[in-house]
Amino acid sequence: MEIDLLKNDAISEIPTTAESILEKARSIVPILRDNSERIEKNRKLPENIVEILRSTGVFRAAMPKEWGGPELTSLQQTQLIEIIATGDVSSAWCSMIGMDSGIYSGFLPQDIAREVYPHLDMANSGWIHPQGRAEKVAGGYRVSGKWRFGSGISHCEVLVSGVVVYKNGIPALDPITGKSPYWRVMVAKPNQFNIIDSWHTTGLAGSGSMDYSVEDLFIPDDHSFAFNQPFRAGPLHNSPDAILRKMSGIPLGMARACLDYVRNQAASRIDRETKTPWVNDVRVQCAIAKAEMELSAARSFVYSSLDKQWNKLSINDDFSADDRVSTALARYNAFQVARHIVQTMYNLIGGSSVYKKSPLDRWLRDAQTMCQHAVAQDAILQLTGNVLVGGESTSPFF
């Protein structure tokens, strides 16, 4: 499908409500699907794909209503990412990162936030893990470091970087907790950093998640933030895990696309060895039914936990231990279940899966790569299990 569709009125007007954004996202799924191979070979999103996503309202999704933004809930953001992932997983990954603009804007002084984000459709990128170092100086920080995983860095307009704050060469104390390390996130422009073409990977190849570095960059005080000091109230800003909640949409959408593909294949396939049509093959029937069951259960856990969390955050209700970790467990489970489904369908299809022209090959590689993210690692079980048995959380996100 030609991308001249950018000139088409159907995608030129950016929607402004959750419903219209989700509807527009559904309309571009065929375009993303038809361009998945090109996106992967490009190792980053092509410019016209970025503009299609922008025209869909993806990057404005979390922007506040008082700015004219749609301010999608975490559930709606997850739905949006899930829809996009059924078209192309790398596009969904970059969309998930890009829409952090609206979330981060709530942690900056609001006059500064409007300077940083002068329009609603600005894509964010960057790694918030405190990999860099920021020396406190008059009026701001001198920042140095190297960060990984700058997903969408080639098209972002705002680039963030996590740091540990030092003062006079000594680790500073967090003014809220009184503890060290003091973690802050620096907010700058991508052209202020050295971007390193390092993204040669097995999966998510089209996400362009390159490294970036800087040496002794001055960042003003009010162009940095800490997640425990929000300037805007509400469920997107009174809990630091807001940037993670929507992530589950990626594996859920990928698994959905994979299952739909295999079910469509079943209508015309015949088992090479047994000569049994797939529509009559008990082995195939059971594998697909089990995968549907697993995906439905994982999806239900994601959305039910998000709904409960959102409702409690909206009224500042107390969280039980289970409440604190449920979204993290649902997210971990979504990644693991989706990878299992893709692997199962890959095996079911057999030899034709191994060719790069098969979407199963790309989904398998995407599934393996995305499950290397921290939210999908087994350490999540230890961290959440510690909370469930009465221990103190050692994660800033629950």
230 domain residue, yes or no: no
Read off the pLDDT of residues 260-270 as tens digits, 9 standing for 90 and up. Answer: 999 999 999 99
Contacts of 148 by beta carbon, 8 Å cutoff, 6+ apart: 127, 131, 198, 209, 211
Tell whether 177 is covered by a domain.
yes
For residue 4, which of 48, 47, 53 has the smallest C-alpha distance?
A: 48
Domain extent, residue 97, equals 3-106
pLDDT digits (tens, 9 = 90+) for 6-65: 444 444 689 999 999 999 999 999 999 999 999 999 999 999 999 999 999 999 999 999
CA pair distance 267, 255, nearest whole angstrom: 19
Q: Considering the domain boundaries, does residue 398 fall inside one?
A: no
- State the virtual CA torsion across 350, 355, 359, 363 in degrees, nearest 10: 80
382 and 275 both lie in a single domain: yes
Q: Decide: 162 and 183 in contact? Cβ < 8 Å.
A: yes
Domain match, 202 and 252 both: no
What is the DSSP secondary structure assignment for residue 99, as one 8-state letter?
T
Q: Within this chain, do residues 281 and 373 fall inside the same structural domain, yes or no?
A: yes
Same domain, yes or no: 198 and 252: no
In a domain, 232, yes or no: no
Taking only the tens place, the pLDDT of each residue in 181-237 is 999 999 999 999 999 999 999 999 999 999 999 999 999 999 999 999 999 999 999
DSSP state of 277: B
- 153 neighbors 138 (Cβ within 8 angstroms): no
In contact, 173 and 234? CB cutoff 8 Å: no
89 within some domain: yes
Q: Is the pLDDT of residue 397 over 50?
A: yes
In a domain, 283, yes or no: yes
Query: Are 140 and 209 in a shared domain?
Result: yes
94 with 177, same domain: the answer is no
> Are 99 and 135 within one domain?
no
Cα-trace Rg, the chain: 22
What is the total count of domains within the chain? Answer: 3
CATH of the domain at 212: 2.40.110.10
| Cα gap 344→333, rounded to integer Å | 16
Strands 194-196 and 170-171: unpaired
Cα–Cα distance measured from residue 223 to residue 233, given in angstroms and rounded to the nearest whole number: 19
* In-domain check, residue 292: yes
pTM: 0.96
Q: Tell me the CATH number at 293.
A: 1.20.140.10
The verdict on 283 and 161 lying in the same domain is no
β-pairing verdict for 140-150 and 124-137? antiparallel
